[in-house]
Amino acid sequence: MADITAPAYRVIPLIPALKPGAMEGKGPFVAGEKLNEALGFPGQLVEDWHDRAIGKMGDLLSRYRSLKVFMDACMHCGACSDKCHYFIGTQDPKNMPVARQDLLRSVYRRYFTLPGKLFPKLVGARDLTREVLDEWYNYFNQCSECRRCSVFCPYGIDTAEITMAAREILDTVGYGQKYSNEIIGKVHKIGNNLGLPGPALRDTLEGLEEDVKDATGFDVRFPMDVKGAEVLLITPSADFFAEPHIDSLIGYAKVFHATGTSWTLSSMSSEAGNFGMFIGNYDQLRTIALRIRQAALELGVKRIVVGECGHAWRVAYSFWNTLTGVGEGADANDHFAQMLQKQLDHRYKQPAHICEFTWDMIQDNRLTFDKSANDKHIITFHDSCNVARGSRMGDLPGGQFEIPRNIIRAVANNFVEMAPSTTREQTFCCGGGGGLLTDDLLELRVKGALPRMEVLQQAVDEHGVNFMATICAICKAQFTKIMPIYGFDRKMVGGVHQLVSNAIQLGPK
Amino acid sequence: MASIVFATLFYLATLLLVVGLLYRISTYARTPAPLKIPTTPAPTTTGGVVLRMTREVVFFESLFKANLWIWGLGWLFHASLALVILRHLRYFTEPVWEWVAFIQPFGMYAGITMLLGLCGLWARRMFVERIRYISTPSDHLMLLLLIGIAASGLMMKFAAHTDVIAVKSYFLGLMHFDVGVLPADLLLMIHLSLVVSLLVVFPNSKLLHAPGVFFSPTRNQKDDPREKRHLSAWAAKLESEK
List chain A residues with CB under 8 Å of B63: 77, 79, 152, 154
Residue A16: inside a domain, yes or no? no
Work out the minimum CA distance from B32 to partner chain A, whole angstroms.
6
Which residues 6+ apart lie within 8 Å of A331 measured at CB?
Answer: A337, B229
Please calculate the CA angle A56-A60-A65 and round it to the nearest 5 degrees.
165
Indicate whether A85 and A166 sit together in one domain: yes
The complex's ipTM works out to 0.96
CA B170 – CA B4 distance, rounded (Å): 11
**Do A261 and A350 lie in a common domain?**
yes
Contact B37 A318 (CB under 8 A): yes
Q: At what angle do helices A178-190 and A282-299 cross, to 10 degrees?
A: 30
pLDDT band at B240 (very low <50, low <70, confident <90, very high): confident
Tell me the chain B residues in contact with residue A313 when contact means C-beta distances shorter than 8 Å. Answer: none
Please give the radius of gyration of chain B, using alpha carbons only, rounded to the nearest integer. Answer: 22
Same structural domain, A255 and A305: yes
Give the CATH number, domain containing residue A111: 1.10.1060
Cβ contact, residue pair A70, B216, below 8 Å: yes
Across the interface, do A153 and B43 touch by the CB < 8 Å criterion? no
Q: Name the minimum distance, in Å, from the CA of B181 to any CA of chain A.
A: 34
Q: Are residues A474 and A412 in the same domain?
A: yes
**How are strands ordered across the β-sheet holding A303-306?**
A263-264, A231-234, A303-306, A352-353
**Residue where a domain terminates, one of A299, A325, A358:** A358
- Min CA distance, B182 vs chain A (Å)? 31
pLDDT score of B32: 97
pLDDT of residue A507: 82
Question: Which residues on chain A are in Cβ contact (under 8 Å) with B231?
Answer: 322, 334
Q: Do B204 and A114 make contact, defined as CB atoms within 8 angstroms?
A: yes
Burial status of residue A402 (CB atoms within 10 A of its CB: 0-12, 13-18, 19 or more): middle
Q: What is the pLDDT of residue A437?
A: 97
Residues A476 and A394 in one domain: yes
Same domain (yes/no): A345, A385: no
Any domain includes A101: yes
Residue among A61, A93, A392 whose CB faces B41 most closely: A392
Residues A39 and A79 both lie in one domain: yes
Assign B241 a pLDDT band (cuts: 50, 70, 90). Answer: low
SS (H, E, C) A55-121: HHHHHHHHHCHHHHHHHHHCCCCCCCCCCCHHHHHHCCHHHCHHHHHHHHHHHHHHHHCHHHHHCHH
Instruction: Give the nearest chain B residue to A79 (CA atoms).
Output: B66
Query: Would you say A250 and A219 are in contact if contact means Cβ atoms under 8 Å apart?
Result: no
The number of domains in chain A is 3
| pLDDT tens digit at each of 509 positions of chain A | 557 889 989 877 788 899 999 999 999 999 999 999 999 999 999 999 999 999 999 999 999 999 999 999 999 999 999 999 999 999 999 999 999 999 999 999 999 999 999 999 999 999 999 999 999 999 999 999 999 999 999 999 999 999 999 999 999 999 999 999 999 999 999 988 888 899 999 999 999 999 999 999 999 999 999 999 999 999 999 999 999 999 999 999 999 999 999 999 999 999 999 999 999 999 999 999 999 999 999 999 999 999 999 999 999 999 999 999 999 999 999 999 999 999 999 999 999 999 999 999 999 999 999 999 999 999 999 999 999 999 999 999 999 999 999 999 999 999 999 999 999 999 999 999 999 999 999 999 999 999 999 999 999 999 999 999 999 999 999 999 999 999 999 999 999 999 999 999 998 76
Residue A329: which of B43, B74, B227 has the nearest Cβ? B227
> In sequence order, what are the beta bridge partners of A30?
A177
C-alpha span between A498 and A233 (Å, rounded)? 17
Question: A45 with A158: CB under 8 angstroms?
Answer: no
Of A66, A74, A337, the CB nearest to B33: A66
Tell if the CB–CB gap between B218 and A349 is shorter than 8 Å: no
- The answer as to whether A3 is a domain residue is no
Residue A141 lies in a domain: yes
Q: A154, B62: Cβ pair inside 8 Å?
A: yes
Chain A residue nearest residue B203, CA to CA:
A72
CB contact under 8 A, B229 and A334: yes
Interface mutation vs chain A, best among B229, B231, B237, most A CBs within 10 Å: B229
pLDDT of residue B2: 87
pLDDT at residue A2 in the model: 55
Could you tell me if A299 and A225 lie in one domain? yes
Domain parsing of chain B, residue ranges: 64-214
Burial status of residue A489 (CB atoms within 10 A of its CB: 0-12, 13-18, 19 or more): exposed
Range of the domain at A69: 33-182
Last residue of a domain, one of A320, A340, A358: A358
Nearest residue in B to A61, CA atom:
B31
Return the ∠ at Cα A496 (arms to A493 and A498), rounded to 5°: 75
Say if residue A198 is in the same domain as residue A333. yes
Q: Which residue of A has its CA nearest to B231?
A: A322
Q: Is the four-CA dihedral A254, A256, A262, A265 of positive or negative sign?
A: negative
Q: Which of A18, A60, A69 has the most B C-beta neighbours within 10 Å, making it the best mutation to test the interface with B? A: A69
CA distance A219 to chain B (A): 34
Topology (CATH) of B64-214? Fumarate Reductase Cytochrome B subunit (1.20.950)
- The model's pLDDT over A208-235, given as tens digits with 9 standing for 90+, comes to 999 999 999 999 999 999 999 999 999 9
Is the residue at A2 inside a domain? no
Pick the more confident residue, A184 or B1: A184
Q: B131: nearest CA in chain A?
A: A78
User: Among the three residues A358, A389, A420, which one is the final residue of a domain in this structure?
Assistant: A358
Residue A280's closest chain B neighbor by CA? B35
What's this model's pTM, rounded to 2 decimal places?
0.96
Contact between A156 and B130 using a beta-carbon 8 Å cutoff: no
Q: Are residues A279 and A392 in the same domain?
A: no
Would you call the peptide bond into B95 cis, given omega within 30 degrees of 0 as the criterion? Answer: yes
Give me the helices (H) in B128-185, please: 129-134, 137-158, 164-175
Chain B, nearest residue to A329 by Cα:
B228
Q: From the list A64, A98, A152, which residue is nearest B34 (CB)?
A: A64
Verify whether the Cβ–Cβ distance A397 to B63 is below 8 Å.
no
C-alpha A128/C-alpha A176 separation (Å) is 17
- If asked whether residues A154 and A101 sit together in one domain, one would say yes
Whether residues B219 and A155 touch (CB distance < 8 A) is answered with yes
A132 and A220 share a domain?
Answer: no
Minimal Cβ distance to A329: which of B209, B216, B228:
B228
Amino acid at A65: R
Choose, out of A155, A159, A320, the residue to mutate when testing the contact with B (most B CBs < 10 Å): A155
CA A244 – CA A267 distance, rounded (Å): 22
